[in-house]
Amino acid sequence: MLPGPAAVGEAAETEAWSDPAGGGVAPIAGYRTDSMGAEHAADTEAGRDDPAGLASGWWPSPWPASMVAAGKVGRSGLQAAGGGVYWIESRPDDGGRQVVVGAAGGQLPVDISPVGVSVGSRVHEYGGGAATVAAGALFYVNQDDQRWYRVPVPGSSGSMADSPTPGAPVSLSPPPPADGPSCRYADGRLAGSGQWLVSVEERVGAGRTGHRLMAVGVQEPAVVPMVEEGDFVGAPRVSGDGRWLAWVTWDHPCMPWDSSEVWVARIEESGGSIRLRGGRRVAGGEGTSVGQPLWCRDGSLLFVDDRSGWWLPYRLRAEQLAADVPVAHPLVARQAEFHAPDWVLGQATMAELSDGSVVCRMHEGGRDHLVCLRPPESADDAVRQKRAEEPPWSIDVIDQPCVSISGVAVTQPEPAVGPPGVLDRVWLLGSTATESQAVFEIPVAGGDPPRRISTAPAVAVSSRDVSVGRPFTAATPSGPVPGLFFAPRNAHVEQQLDGGSTGLPPLVVFCHGGPTAAAVAGFDPVVQFFTSRGLAVAVVDYRGSTGYGRAYRLRLLGMWGEGDVDDCVHYAGALADAGWVDGSRMAIRGTSAGGLTALAALIRSQCFAGAAAWYGVTDLEALAADTHDFESRYVDSLVGPWPEAAETYRARSPIHHPDRVAGEVLLLQGADDRVVPRDQSERFAAMLHEHGIPCRLVIFEGESHGFRRAATIEACLTAELDFYRSLFSHPVSPEPTPTAP
């Protein structure tokens, strides 16, 4: 049996070296990794002995695990309202509590959500859209009870600094009945006369989950169903005049990036109630993914659509919305992505400027760009109405510091003074090559440089110590596989070497989660934690990754657990063949779905000395048999229909092939994980022990999927570094060619 828990800071951890663990298969709730974007911090590893001189993995680093963990302040949910800008921060030093932060009038950011409350939604298990600011109020979902609350925005009548303490919160959504399903909420918007908050509701009961759009009263207690059709709903967006609602819907067995639809309906409010009339589909359908509906000031509707093979912005003018068969056309024709998979609710990377232009994120060439789409000057509404297609809009790239962008928002002056668009304020949430997840104000009219709005990193680290990702595309039997290579970087060591070299570095391959997700080009303190110690890192966009069009995304269908694994193996081999890394010292790691890829790489090849998995999937059969509603049919497309393809599930599950694992294993697991339960890691560790495979299992009490506590993150990074130091002290003979399953 595993030894009892021992306290480690805020998190209690249980550690075992391949100790067998009994127990049956626990319910499983999914497998995608949570984002771990964060602020970085640093100091020196004072007092640590350096037994290996300048050996790779032992370089004295400015990135101790404690500072990386404490500085991992994640930011999300960027939005603008009433002249201010708002976002959510997760704070590891406060037990992972999430706080709504706002800034207005040139003031420093202040917390605007109630003290002691953690803001977060559990809709789809991954949440998103947990807060919105409108009409001088903050509407937020309390993470503890998943209900909507309203509280005045501090200083909403003036500067936020005038009243830093918010008023008492008022609950809007009712508590669940004792004998009924629990309800979760997310992605709310004020509707009608501002007396209703329309949002997604997820009802979770015994063996059944349902989704619909609901309206809850803002001033008076009331709950009104708005949309009950469709297995899933999201992105409810109200037009500027309050008369129309647009939303996205999709049905099993699809995920929103497979097939989804945009619907619109008229809002009617009377007699103290609200309803929708005349709902109709205006975009999307079988084989097309849509998202991000956005109402413009002229009554037109923008959205993204991948019918061309790329997520591009489309527009339906007001008169087109009334047509029997609305026909939209892309604003631009480009092989670029203006959207990302909707793992969480509330994605917002497009915003309208007051002159009718649209500022948005565009992913191209392995990085994000901020662009302004401008309509043709000669194409007024009368001219457009006579044409069969929307004239192409021009694309202006806006100078800004971020290489990875997760949020775009615009504040338009009211009333407008001066030329349209000039006084607009553009806000950006993104990561630069040397700093992660910050909020910036971007001057679209030129002149002033971008200005950081969010709090600066607690401890600055010289850019000379930061490794910047270098694009590298590997030629593989399945085609080109893109990714990023981070070489070891440490100014102190480079000065000591004075032009010399410690030889080719060991390599750690990072497998992103999802698997429908992508490598992030922006600064990641975890990457720097390893590169500053002399280890090289490769982040692989294996087949199925996003950012390269629909065709590349579909290449993983039916191939998860094989195609992604082979791509990572070949990518590592290509780096070794190119002379960038030491092919005899390579390891692989992954989070959640990426954990499956990493562990399977030890089965399908012998080129890695070991694999580290953070809350990683080991049992695909258990995943298919009992997962949460959002992803309950996801594995059907990635592996095969369940249970017809049961043999394929077993063939690709590491837990069924412990005897073929060629390398050591490190498993890091949250005790309260409802997405990938601890039972998967415990059973896999026990089987490895029975077959004599070295395995270390560390279980963290109080943690779930996506570690958030500083003490947990510090312990994981320390364990992972020690794991690689042990692996790379014993070179292995690389065999990069995957073996047959």
Q: For residue range 482-539, what is the model confidence (pLDDT) as tens digits?
A: 999 999 999 999 988 887 778 899 999 999 999 999 999 999 999 999 999 999 999 9
Q: Distance between CA atoms of 622 and 637, rounded to whole angstroms?
A: 16
530 vs 637: CA distance, rounded Å: 35
Q: How confident is the model at residue 379 (pLDDT cuts 50, 70, 90)?
A: low
CA distance 146 to 236: 18
pLDDT tens digits along 183-231: 999 999 999 889 999 999 999 987 788 999 999 999 988 999 999 999 9
385-410 pLDDT, tens per residue?
A: 555 567 899 999 999 999 999 999 99
pLDDT at 69: 87
Question: Two tokens at 433?
Answer: 């090559």
Q: Which residue has the higher pLDDT, 579 or 16?
A: 579
What pLDDT band is residue 366 in, cutting at 50, 70 and 90? confident
Question: How far apart are the C-alpha atoms of 311 and 190, rounded to whole Å?
Answer: 28
676 and 619 Cβ atoms separated by less than 8 Å: no
Percentage of the chain with pLDDT > 90? 70
Spatial separation of the C-alpha atoms in residues 480 and 300, rounded to whole Å? 40
Question: Residues 150, 132: contact at Cβ < 8 Å?
Answer: no
Least confident window among 31-35, 133-137, 303-307: 31-35
Q: Which residue has the higher pLDDT, 243 or 498?
A: 243
Task: Please write the tens of the pLDDT for every residue from 145-195.
Answer: 999 999 999 866 544 444 445 568 999 998 877 777 899 999 999 998 899
**pLDDT class for 415, splitting at 50, 70, 90?**
low
pLDDT band of 729, cuts 50, 70, 90: confident
Q: Is 267 left (phi over 0), alpha (psi -120 to 50) or beta?
A: beta
d(CA 561, CA 652): 6
Q: Tell me whether strands 11-17 and 6-8 are parallel, antiparallel or unpaired.
A: antiparallel
Which pTM was predicted? 0.89
Mean pLDDT score of the chain, rounded to an integer? 87
Q: Which residue type sits at 566?
A: D
Q: Is the pLDDT score of 417 beyond 90? A: no
Least confident of 350-364, 487-501, 661-675: 487-501
Q: How many CA atoms lie within 13 A of 297 on its CB side?
A: 12
User: Cα–Cα distance between 140 and 138 in angstroms, integer?
Assistant: 6
Long-range contacts from 92-100, C-beta under 8 angstroms, 24+ separation: 92/38, 92/708, 92/709, 92/710, 92/713, 93/710, 95/10, 95/708, 95/709, 96/708, 96/709, 98/130, 98/143, 100/131, 100/138, 100/140
Could you report the per-residue pLDDT of 535-553, keeping only the tens digit for each?
A: 999 999 999 999 999 999 9
Beta strands 483-486 and 474-476, pairing class:
unpaired
Q: What is the pLDDT of residue 659?
A: 96
Point out the least confidently predicted range of 128-132, 411-415, 473-477: 411-415
DSSP 128: B
pLDDT band at residue 414 under the 50/70/90 scheme = low
DSSP type of residue 121: -
- For residue 592, give the 3-state DSSP assignment: coil
Q: How many CB atoms lie within 10 A of CB 220?
A: 9
Residue pair 182/175 in contact (Cβ under 8 Å)? The answer is no
pLDDT at 34: 30
DSSP assignment of 388-441: SSPPPPEEEEPP-S-SEEEEEEEE--SS--SSTTTS-EEEEEEE-SSS-SEEEE
Query: Residue 251: what pLDDT?
Result: 97
Q: Which helix (H) or strand (E) holds 666?
A: strand 664-670
Could you report the per-residue pLDDT of 427-439, keeping only the tens digit for each?
A: 999 999 988 899 9
Query: Could you tell me the pLDDT band of residue 381, with boundaries at 50, 70 and 90?
Result: low
Residue 378 pLDDT level (bands cut at 50, 70, 90): low
Residue 647: exposure state from Cβ atoms within 10 A (0-12, 13-18, ≥19): exposed
CB-based contact 514:593 (threshold 8 Å): yes
Identify which of 15-19, 35-39, 524-528, 563-567 has the greatest average pLDDT: 563-567
Tell which wins on pLDDT, 614 or 31. Answer: 614
Question: CA nearest 305: which of 326, 325, 331, 279?
Answer: 331
CB-CB contact of 461 with 62 (8 Å): yes
**Predicted pLDDT at 419:** 55
